[in-house]
């Protein structure tokens, strides 16, 4: 499907299939809900619908701020991209597998190229 859009826009569209972070799904849900309840606040047919919409709107906003704060304080790696987390997991696994034998981590020395001088005739 990305080839189709690349052809239409004449730009290379790179998509690796990874979500940006753990909050990506929540961003969409909260954004859509905030939009709906914001419309309820402004265009509500009665005062009690506007008040309830405003309360839910503010409650969702507080919940979202609390969730971001929680991840920042207690699990900041969740705010990194999934690709970053998978790469870090692979690096840590490789390190743990080779931690007991440090010789696996070093590059063996190679013989440097030498220039041979020929005697002049």
Listed in sequence order, the residues at least 6 apart from 68 whose beta carbon sits closer than 8 Å to its beta carbon are 23
Specify if 118 maps to a domain.
no
pLDDT above 80: residue 99: no
Residue 114 lies in a domain: no
Residue 9 inside a domain? The answer is: no
pLDDT tens digit string along 67-76?
A: 999 988 998 8
Q: Is the pLDDT of residue 95 over 60?
A: yes
74 in a structural domain = yes
Instruction: Look at residue 21 in the predicted model and tell me its pLDDT.
Output: 78
- Residue 90, pLDDT > 70, answer yes
To the nearest whole number, what is the mean pLDDT of the chain?
Answer: 78
State how far the Cα of 9 lies from the Cα of 21, in Å rounded to an integer.
27
Q: Which of 64, 60, 63 is nearest to 37 (CA)?
A: 60
Mean pLDDT of 95-121: 64
15: in domain: no
Q: What pLDDT does 108 receive?
A: 58
Tell me phi and psi for residue 31, to 5 degrees.
Answer: -60, -45
pTM of the model: 0.58
25 found inside a domain? yes
CB atoms within 10 A of CB 57: 19
Q: Residue 77: pLDDT band by 50, 70, 90 thresholds?
A: confident
Domain region containing 65: 21-99
Number of domains in the chain: 1
Distance CA 57, CA 49 (A): 12
Residue 61, token pair as written in the block: 């906003």
What is the C-alpha end-to-end distance of the chain, expressed in Å?
Answer: 69
Residue 109 lies in a domain: no
Could you give the CA distance from residue 28 to residue 46 in angstroms, rounded to a whole number?
28
pLDDT digits (tens, 9 = 90+) for 4-31: 555 555 655 455 555 677 788 888 899 9
């Amino acid at each position: 499907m990305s080839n189709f859009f690349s052809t239409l826009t004449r730009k290379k569209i790179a998509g690796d299939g990874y979500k940006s972070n753990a909050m990506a799904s929540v961003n969409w849900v909260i954004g859509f809900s905030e939009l709906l309840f914001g419309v309820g606040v402004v265009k509500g047919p009665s005062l009690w619908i506007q008040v309830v919409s405003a309360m839910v709107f503010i409650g969702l906003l507080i919940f979202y701020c609390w969730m971001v704060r929680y991840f920042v304080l207690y699990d900041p790696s969740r705010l990194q991209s999934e690709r970053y987390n998978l790469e870090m997991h692979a690096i840590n696994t490789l390190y743990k597998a080779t931690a007991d034998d440090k010789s696996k981590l070093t590059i063996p020395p190679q013989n440097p190229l030498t220039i041979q001088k020929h005697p002049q005739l």
